Chain A
Amino acid sequence: GENVEQHPSTLSVQEGDSAVIKCTYSDSASNYFPWYKQELGKRPQLIIDIRSNVGEKKDQRIAVTLNKTAKHFSLHITETQPEDSAVYFCAASSGNTPLVFGKGTRLSVIA
């Protein structure tokens, strides 16, 4: 089955700097890749997603890139702010099987 690995497990950046979180997946049939943000004590919330027919997608300060050949995708957050501090999860699905999640990255934005 699908296996998703996420790196790094923790990340600290200065406010205003960029943050990058990377995920790799094992199933070449996977074609849907969402990213979730989870603040402390809250539910995971979808922040952006990408499908395999697209190489990059942006939404204001966040962007996701996908490299199907290498089977990895990344989350980019620019101009980080303290409210970006949270745990971020990547996931992958082929459509025939449910989402498989990475283990998460704890992002700390230092003011």
Chain B
Amino acid sequence: NAGVMQNPRHLVRRRGQEARLRCSPMKGHSHVYWYRQLPEEGLKFMVYLQKENIIDESGMPKERFSAEFPKEGPSILRIQQVVRGDSAAYFCASSPGAGTPYEQYFGPGTRLTVT
């Protein structure tokens, strides 16, 4: 019973390049969430998706960031033209459905370093 899977675990990009982070939710889970953790801080919500739908993107930066969760395949968080400030750990979580008390189950994270 695999948990939430994220790849790559570590990603190094030069300023101006694109970063693509992938997340496969737990089996049977149809809801995906992305969070970002800057050094010495808590996790900050970015976006909540269901299959083929963005439900809440209130935490996404207005520019350069996008997310999708296609009908087939993993959820993708895309960061275009990365800058040093994008360096962080990006965590994906999944849940079986909406509404409390569904807890969110987290993957191991992708650590993005922008040089």
Partners in one complex: no
Binding site for B on A (CB under 8 A): none
